[in-house]
Structures are given as structure tokens and as C-alpha cells.
Amino acid sequence: MVLAKSFRRILRSESRLPSQVLQTIRLEVRLRASMFDAPLADSDYNRQFMDRWGLNARFQVPQMITCYWLKPSPGFVMINTDGSLNDGAAGFGAIIRIEEGDALTAVAGSSVPKTITYHEL
């Protein structure tokens, strides 16, 4: 709402060149964005975005998660699967390993989103 009021104020004033209107909008966005202090996820996209707009940010590095793999019994293989799901896309993957941990084969793909259980298995 506040930005909408600012933009209406900018656009209704005396006639300006499009480049002047764009410059004023950019300055207004920078000013408002500089007031936010919430941390941003540390990603290449976020860093480039903030750099392009000339904004300072407090980046938060994602917490690392340690994962363990339990090897199969001698003479057996292990199949590990994973999946992901969001509003518009879904993906899945699987890998078959021998007891030493070497991969025999792997597969990955995408499909129409269903349920997380469906894509995990």
C-alpha cells in the first residue's frame, strides 16, 4: 500500500521524461528496501539481486545437515530414493549401490506434482 501511494505520487506530478520517472521509482524502491533488516538466504541469485539494486543485506548461510548411509549386507544392494515437491513442479531420484558404496546405476526425473510420499518413493 505504501509503495502504491508513493508510485501514484511520482506518476501524477508534473510531466517528466520516462527516464526521470524510472530513476525516481528506483530511488524509492532502494529507500524502502534499505529499511528491511530480515536476513536473506545466502544464494547467488539473492547476492546478485541486492548488488544490482545497490542494497546492503544480511545473508544467512543455510545450516548443513549431516547424512549417513548404511551399507547393505554382503551380497545385497541398497536402493535409496528421494523426491521433492512444490506448487508447480515435482522431481524424484534413485540410486542403487553395492556394499562398498559404489553406484551401480542412478535415475532422476520430473513429473506432474502429486504427493510428497509419491515422489519420495
Strands 78-85 and 103-111: unpaired
Query: What pLDDT, on a 0 to 100 scale, did the predictor assign at position 48?
Result: 93
Pairwise CA distance, residues 114 & 2, whole Å? 39
Domains of the chain, residue spans? 18-60, 67-120
Angstrom distances, CA of residue 84 to CA of 89, 94, 107: 8, 12, 14
Amino acid in the structure at residue 88: G
pLDDT given at position 25 = 85
| pLDDT in the model for residue 28 | 85
Q: What is the pLDDT of residues 22-75, one digit of tens each?
A: 888 888 888 877 777 788 899 999 999 888 888 888 899 888 888 888 889 999
Convert the pLDDT of each residue in 73-109 to its tens digit.
Answer: 999 999 999 998 888 889 999 999 999 889 999 999 9
Residue 11 reports pLDDT greater than 70: no
What integer pLDDT is reported at residue 2 of this predicted model?
60
> Please, are residues 86 and 114 in contact by the beta-carbon 8 Å criterion?
no
